[in-house]
């Protein structure tokens, strides 16, 4: 019976193509805007979240603000803080800016002063050479690990291990090159893709703002237990700075990506809501045309009832027609969205897909719209008295 | 088979009360071919609607195959119409977007008959009215006579116990009308009960018996029809339970008043 109803519904929709299309237009536009907007948001947020993950979310960042009080020394970091039971490893990370020069090019780059433990606590991957090692620390060696982009833009190629680079006029030997940044959002977040890593001790000596005091460091927790590690670090720092909460900041980057998720979630909901309203308007269009259709086909309803159609069969027929109308609009809308996303990908040189979740939502919502707005006309049809319907002209 | 006991149907038209049927008593036996004749506005459509279970009486009792129709809900009435009544309308009432085949198939779909059985019965019915070759045509591709034959096939396909024809020849020329009437006679010969509603005496007199209706009052006329010698089979006597029916199924008088109007 349902199969027959679907067949009849499709037949009746196709028998009046223009009207059916115009009726579906509301749903098509609604689904189209829903799918495209949400896919764009989730695509963009996917990129941003990806970038944050590349920065490393499985780490805790600590910044020391208070310069008046006695800062944390390097020794304190690697003995006391690393000694906390919930902390697996630590690495200091001093920031500076350096002018990196080769024979013919020069670029400004972020320079980090750090220790061999950095790759253990954050996401640094080498494509060539080695990272800073303990002897480099002990000898205050003039060695540097550069990012792929920095190497390419300053020296002109990536295989530069063993060559020398001038940073702020001092000559360094390149010992390693980090992997090329695959996520374009990264540069956006950091401001640049140029990065150079020098030994912590070297920076303390050679850079104008360098010192053996640790102004920021990265820690990794034991067994991925961020909550405990973060709490222990805060406890330690509070004690260390006499309960001055302003003196330091502790960040877990997974909280940043959580916040990011909340923002994009809200954005999706907002856009989804707007698109939902247009779907609702589309639903009213369907109801309108279904009412017209019921009136137009009063005689047909009468005939069907006379030859024995039960009220619920008539109801089902019109309800299914409304649902099919709505779902056809939904599918066309999804088709349009797909084409649009392909165009956006080509024009914007990105790779955003249709989000599967939003397609499910669109289909469910369209079905709902079909049911809700088809119900009243279908009931009207089902409740007609057969003799009145047969007499109708 | 069909028993009307004091059936009344009253409409309200504004303040005016219209007695479309006034204490009608009718008895139609299994296998009979009965015509109901009356001028327009006489209440024949009301009678047909009630007999066809499309409408229920205001008062009185109507039994179809011993079923007390006025006690059923619309849902049950739909089922009774589907299984027991084959309608043939003046304006054919085929669904214009469907082919002949689909129109004939429709009541079988509502009956829940399986696909293969449906196809077989549709073929059988369309072959009976000689239209199987035009099964793919929609009503507007067919002549009036052909459409009416499709409508008859639709009625036949569901194997009803009662064929209820409302002015079946009203929209047709006389030659085509004759063709349709001969199909009814053929159906009757096979033992089917046929009730034919008409205002045309020449059509009405082709039935075995005629019920005249005027101003909502019913009177029974019986034709002596030697040309209907084919109806040798006895009518079902079991159903004579309303007392108004005589035990003799073939009265000798040419016209006899029976039952009907109690003014």
User: Which of A330-344, B96-110, B238-252 is least confident?
Assistant: B238-252
Euclidean distance between the first and final Cα of chain B, in Å?
26
Beta-sheet strand order (sheet of B59-64): B16-28, B2-13, B59-64, B67-68
Q: In terms of CA atoms, which chain A residue is nearest residue B111? A: A308
Which tens digits make up the pLDDT trace of A372-381? 999 999 999 9
CA-nearest of B4, B53, B58, B51 to B196 is B51
B78, B89, B158: residue with CB nearest A309:
B78
| pLDDT number for residue B258 | 44
Between B41 and B121, whose confidence is greater?
Answer: B121
Q: Say if B165 is an interface residue toward chain A (CB within 8 Å).
A: no
Is pLDDT at B226 greater than 50 in this prediction? no
Between B95, B97, B110, which is nearest A308 by CB?
Answer: B110
| Whether the predicted interface score ipTM is above 0.90 | no
Contact: B78, A4; criterion CB under 8 Å: no
What pLDDT, on a 0 to 100 scale, did the predictor assign at position A187?
A: 65
- Smallest Cβ–Cβ distance between B154 and the set A11, A302, A307 belongs to A307
Give the distance, in angstroms, between the CA of residue B184 and the centroid of all CA atoms in the same chain.
10
- Report whether pLDDT(B251) > 70: no
Measure CA A348 to chain center: 17
What confidence tens digit (pLDDT) does each residue in B17-33 have? 888 888 888 999 999 99
Tell me what the mean pLDDT of segment B81-95 comes to.
92
Q: Tell me: the pLDDT tens digits for A203-221?
A: 888 888 777 888 888 888 8
- HEC readout, chain A: CHHHHHHHHHHHHHCCHHHHHHHHHHHHHHHHHHHHHHHHHHHHHHHHHHHHHHHHCCCEEEEECCCCCCCEEHHHHHHHHCCCCCEEEEEECEEEEEEEECCCCEEEEEEEEECCCHHHHCCCCEEEECCCCHHHHHCCCCEEEEEHHHHHHHCCCCCCCCCEEEECCEEEEEEEEECCCCCCHHHHHHCCCCEEEEEHHHHHHHCCCCCCEECEEEEEEHHHCHHHHHHHHHHHHHHHCCCCHHHEEEEEHHHHHHHHHHHHHHHHHHHHHHHHHHHHHHHHHHHHHHHHHHHHCHHHHHHHHHCCCCHHHHHHHHHHHHHHHHHHHHHHHHHHHHHHHHHHHHHHCCCCCCCHHHHHHHHHHHHHHHHHHHHHHHHHHHCCCHHHHHHCC
Stretch A40-49: mean pLDDT: 79
CB count, 10 Å around CB of B71?
A: 10
Of the candidates A289, A358, A327, the residue with the CA atom closest to the CA atom of residue A28: A327
For B2-239, which CATH superfamily applies? P-loop containing nucleotide triphosphate hydrolases (3.40.50.300)
Q: What is the mean pLDDT of residues A246-268?
A: 79
Distance CA A59, CA A212 (A): 22
What average pLDDT does the segment A56-61 reach?
73
pLDDT higher than threshold 50 for residue A304: yes
pLDDT for residue A18: 92
Identify the band that residue A181 occupies on the pLDDT scale cut at 50, 70 and 90: confident
| Res. A128 pLDDT band, cuts 50 70 90 | confident
Confidence at residue A357, expressed as pLDDT on a 0 to 100 scale: 84
For the residues B223-240, what does the mean pLDDT come to?
Answer: 45
Delimit the domains of chain A by residue range. 2-52+259-391, 70-240
**A307 in contact with B at a CB cutoff of 8 Å?**
yes
Residue B1 confidence (pLDDT) above 70 = yes
Average pLDDT estimate for A180-193:
69
Provide the 3-class DSSP secondary structure of residue B108. Answer: helix
How far apart are alpha carbons A172 and A352 in whole angstroms?
42
- Among the partner residues A302, A308, A390, nearest to B82 by beta-carbon distance: A308
**Residue in the block written with tokens 């979630």:** A265
Identify the pLDDT of residue B231: 45
- In this prediction the pTM is 0.68
Angle at B135 between CA B131 and CA B139, to 5 degrees: 90
Identify which of A32, A59, A356, A1 has the alpha carbon closest to the alpha carbon of residue A218. A59
Residue A30 has pLDDT above 60, yes or no: yes
With an 8 Å Cβ cutoff, are A387 and B49 in contact? Answer: yes
In 3D space, the residue among A108, A179, A115 whose CA is nearest the CA of residue A141 turns out to be A115
pLDDT at A93 over 90: no
What mean pLDDT do residues A143-168 have?
88
pLDDT confidence tier of residue A253, bands split at 50, 70 and 90: low
At residue A189, the pLDDT reads 63
The predicted structure's pLDDT at residue A57: 61
Query: Given a cut of 60, is residue B257 above it in pLDDT?
Result: no
Q: In this structure, are residues A128 and A175 in contact, taking their beta carbons and an 8 Å threshold?
A: no
* pLDDT at residue B222, rounded to an integer: 64
Q: How far apart are CA B57 and CA A134, in angstroms?
A: 105
Contact with chain B for residue A12, Cβ under 8 A = yes
Contacts of A309 in chain B (CB under 8 A): 78, 82, 110
| Residues A365, A355: Cα–Cα separation, whole Å | 15
Coil, helix or strand for B29?
coil
In whole angstroms, what is the distance from residue B79 CA to residue B83 CA?
Answer: 6
Name the closest residue on chain A to residue B158, using Cα atoms. A307
User: What is the spatial distance between Cα A107 and Cα A155, in angstroms, rounded to a whole number?
Assistant: 10
The most confident of the ranges A39-53, A62-76, A205-219, A289-303 is A289-303
Strands of B29-122 (E only): list them. Answer: 33-37, 59-64, 67-68, 85-88
Residue-level pLDDT at B230: 43
Per residue in B89-103, pLDDT (tens digit) is: 988 999 988 899 999
Inter-chain CB proximity A15 and B154 less than 8 Å: no
**CA–CA dist B29, A281 (Å, integer):** 58
What is the distance in angstroms between the Cα of A268 and the nearest Cα belonging to chain B?
A: 45
Confidence band, pLDDT 50/70/90 cuts, at residue B245: very low
CA distances from A86 to A173, A250, A255, A362, B8 (A): 36, 15, 19, 46, 94
pLDDT number for residue A221: 85
Residues of B in contact with A313 (CB under 8 A): 110
Judge residue B58's burial from the number of C-beta atoms within 10 Å of its C-beta, 0-12 exposed, 13-18 middle, 19 or more buried: middle
Categorize the per-residue pLDDT at A292 as very low, low, confident or very high, splitting at 50, 70 and 90: very high
The chain-wide mean pLDDT, for chain B, equals 83
Taking an 8 Å cut-off on Cβ atoms, the answer to whether B52 and A305 are in contact is: no
Confidence bin at B227 (pLDDT 50/70/90): very low
Share of chain B above pLDDT 70, in %: 84
Q: What's the average model confidence in pLDDT over B218-244? A: 50
| In the predicted structure, residue B233 carries a pLDDT above the cut 80 | no
Q: Report which of residues A353 and A291 the model is more confident about.
A: A291
- A184 pLDDT band (50/70/90 cuts)? low
Share of chain A above pLDDT 70, in %: 94
Q: Which residue has the tokens 């043939």?
A: B88
Please, which pLDDT band fits residue A248 given cuts at 50, 70 and 90? confident
């Amino acid at each position: 019976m349902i199969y027959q109803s679907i067949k009849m519904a499709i037949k009746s929709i196709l028998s009046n193509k223009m009207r059916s299309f115009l009726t579906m237009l509301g749903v098509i536009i609604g689904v189209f805007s829903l799918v495209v907007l949400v896919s764009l948001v989730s695509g963009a947020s996917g990129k941003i979240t990806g970038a944050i993950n590349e920065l490393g979310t499985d780490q805790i960042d600590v910044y020391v603000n208070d310069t008046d009080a006695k800062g944390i020394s390097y020794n304190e970091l690697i003995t006391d803080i690393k000694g906390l039971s919930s902390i697996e490893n630590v690495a200091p990370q001093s920031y500076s800016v350096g002018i990196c020069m080769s024979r013919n090019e020069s670029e400004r780059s972020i320079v980090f002063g750090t220790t061999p433990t950095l790759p253990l606590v954050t996401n640094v991957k080498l494509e060539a050479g080695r990272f800073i090692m303990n002897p480099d620390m002990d000898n205050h060696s003039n060695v540097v690990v550069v990012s792929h982009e920095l190497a390419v833009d300053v020296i002109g190629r990536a295989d530069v291990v063993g060559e020398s680079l001038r940073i702020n006029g001092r000559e360094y030997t390149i010992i390693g090159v980090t992997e090329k940044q695959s996520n374009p959002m990264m540069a956006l977040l950091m401001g640049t893709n140029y990065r150079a890593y020098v030994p912590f001790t070297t920076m303390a000596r050679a850079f104008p703002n360098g010192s053996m005091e640790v102004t920021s460091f990265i820690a990794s927790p034991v067994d991925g237990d961020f909550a405990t590690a973060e709490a222990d670090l805060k406890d330690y720092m509070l004690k260390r700075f006499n309960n001055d909460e302003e003196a330091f900041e502790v960040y877990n980057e997974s909280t940043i990506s959580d916040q990011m998720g909340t923002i994009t979630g809200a954005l999706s909901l907002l856009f989804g809501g707007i698109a939902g309203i247009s779907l609702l308007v589309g639903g009213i269009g369907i109801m309108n045309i279904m009412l017209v259709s019921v009136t137009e086909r009063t005689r047909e309803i009468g005939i069907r009832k006379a030859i024995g159609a039960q009220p619920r069969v008539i109801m089902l027929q019109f309800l299914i027609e409304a649902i099919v109308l709505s779902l056809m609009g939904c599918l066309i809308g999804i088709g349009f969205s797909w084409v649009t996303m392909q165009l956006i990908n080509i024009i914007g040189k990105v790779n955003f897909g249709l989000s599967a979740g939003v397609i499910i939502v669109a289909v469910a919502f369209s079905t709902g719209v079909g049911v809700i707005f088809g119900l009243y006309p279908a009931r009207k049809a089902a409740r007609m008295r057969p003799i009145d319907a047969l007499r109708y002209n | 088979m069909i028993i009307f006991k004091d059936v009344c149907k009253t409409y309200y038209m504004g303040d005016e009360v219209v007695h479309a049927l006034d204490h009608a008593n009718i008895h139609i036996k299994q296998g009979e071919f009965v015509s109901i004749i009356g001028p327009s506005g006489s209440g024949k459509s009301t009678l047909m609607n009630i007999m066809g279970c499309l409408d229920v009486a205001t008062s009185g009792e109507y039994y179809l195959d011993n079923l007390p129709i006025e006690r059923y809900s619309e849902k049950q009435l739909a089922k009774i119409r589907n299984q027991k009544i084959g309608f043939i309308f003046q304006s054919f009432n085929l669904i214009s977007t469907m082919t002949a085949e689909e129109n004939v198939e429709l009541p079988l779909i509502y009956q829940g008959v399986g696909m293969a059985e449906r196809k077989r019965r549709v073929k059988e019915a369309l072959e009976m009215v000689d239209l199987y070759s035009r099964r793919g045509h929609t009503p507007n591709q067919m002549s009036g006579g052909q459409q009416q034959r499709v409508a008859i096939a639709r009625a036949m396909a569901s194997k009803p116990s009662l064929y209820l024809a409302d002015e079946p020849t009203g929209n047709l020329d006389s030659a085509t009308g004759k063709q349709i009437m001969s199909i009814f006679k053929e159906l009757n010969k096979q033992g089917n009960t046929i009730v034919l509603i008409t205002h045309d005496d020449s059509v009405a007199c082709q039935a075995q018996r005629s019920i005249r209706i005027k101003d909502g009052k019913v009177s029974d006329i019986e034709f002596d029809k030697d040309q209907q010698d084919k109806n040798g089979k006895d009518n079902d006597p079991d159903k004579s339970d309303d007392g108004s029916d005589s035990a003799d199924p073939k009265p000798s008088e040419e016209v006899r008043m029976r039952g009907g109007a109690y003014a």
